[in-house]
């Protein structure tokens, strides 16, 4: 029995759209078909497909499933078709066919971390047909589309400096609590670095005693099912992604242990 294997290796697993300049991004690789015996190769094709799926269960008295699945991108390339329509056996060994796709910048980036079977995914499927009575050989490869923070700024501003996002809580004549996010546009899987400061105000600062400080990252998720190009049904939910809590004394001690103690960061 002939041994066969097939792969569709990519030159890169991640496709990064770095600037909103209208340029397409290239995805390329090779379809490799290995066989240890002479084999008839009738055709070779590869398909790149992007799919968006939205799904949730209603919280009504009679819970029902709401879902929608749509194709965002679909393109197939035929890499090998016998020119004379006469099939011949190919010799043993590795047979390679290169491929190249150009992805438009309007495609949404990959989302594979949402609950409830909701996602945006991209993938390649290579198919090698070897005979009338043989099952086609297939191989799949996942592709991840990423849009970096610079994609969300004007196309002619490549040296952008993002202003930090800052929020304050005020206890009149006592304390100001400041939370600063140095980079408001965060890529998926990026590190979220926050700066937290307590600033005493006036003579009443000593009368305020804080027991603990808690920081919580909350995700707001809105799912929409469309019909005839317009929103048809929607749901909106929030969930806690991560949280961290510590007493003010613990925060001050940790800051001083790093050698960067700031008297303004202490509580009154």
DSSP string, 196-208: EEEEE-SGGGGG-
- What are the tens digits of pLDDT across the range 171-193? 777 788 888 887 766 666 667 77
With a cut of 90, say whether residue 98 has pLDDT above it: yes
Please indicate whether residue 229 or residue 122 has the higher confidence score (pLDDT). 122
Cβ neighbours of 243 (radius 10 Å): 10
Among 210, 29, 49, smallest CA distance to 124 is for 49
| pLDDT of res. 267 | 43
Among 255, 96, 9, smallest CA distance to 267 is for 255
| pLDDT of res. 234 | 87
Two structure tokens written together for 259: 């050698």
Q: Which residues have a Cβ under 8 Å from the Cβ of 206 and sit 6 or more positions away?
A: 200, 268
Averaged over 224-240, what is the pLDDT?
83
- What are the tens digits of pLDDT across the range 22-72? 678 889 899 999 888 888 888 899 999 999 999 888 888 888 888 899 999
Domains recognised in the chain with CATH numbers: 4-151 (2.60.40.640), 163-208 (no CATH), 210-258 (no CATH)
| pLDDT of res. 260 | 53
Percent of the chain residues topping a pLDDT of 70: 76
**Pair 149, 183: CB distance under 8 Å:** yes
Averaged over 7-14, what is the pLDDT?
62
| pLDDT of res. 164 | 76
| pLDDT of res. 158 | 46
Please indicate whether residue 200 or residue 180 has the higher confidence score (pLDDT). 180
């Amino acid at each position: 029995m002939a041994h066969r294997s097939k792969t569709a290796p990519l030159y890169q697993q991640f496709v990064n759209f770095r600037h909103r300049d209208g340029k397409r991004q290239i995805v390329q690789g090779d379809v490799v078909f290995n066989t240890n015996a002479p084999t008839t190769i009738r055709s070779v094709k590869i398909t790149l497909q992007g799919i968006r799926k939205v799904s949730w269960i209603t919280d009504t008295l009679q819970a029902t499933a709401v879902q929608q699945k749509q194709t965002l991108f679909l393109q197939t390339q035929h890499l090998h078709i016998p020119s004379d329509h006469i099939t011949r056996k190919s010799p043993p060994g590795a047979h390679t066919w290169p491929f190249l796709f150009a992805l438009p910048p309007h495609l949404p980036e990959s989302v594979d971390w949402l609950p409830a079977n909701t996602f945006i995914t991209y993938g390649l499927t290579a198919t090698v047909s070897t005979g009338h009575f043989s099952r086609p050989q297939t191989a799949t490869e996942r592709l991840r589309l990423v849009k970096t923070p610079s994609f969300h700024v004007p196309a002619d501003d490549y040296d952008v400096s993002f202003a930090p996002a800052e929020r304050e809580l005020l206890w009149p004549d006592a304390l100001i609590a400041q939370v600063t996010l140095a980079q408001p546009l965060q890529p998926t899987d990026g590190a979220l670095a926050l700066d937290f400061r307590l600033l005493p105000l006036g003579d009443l600062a000593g009368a305020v005693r804080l027991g603990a400080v808690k920081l919580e990252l909350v995700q707001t998720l809105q799912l929409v099912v469309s019909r005839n190009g317009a929103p048809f049904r929607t749901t909106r939910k929030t969930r806690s992604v991560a949280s961290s809590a510590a007493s003010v004394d613990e925060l001050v001690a940790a800051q001083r242990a790093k050698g960067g103690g700031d008297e303004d960061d202490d509580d009154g």
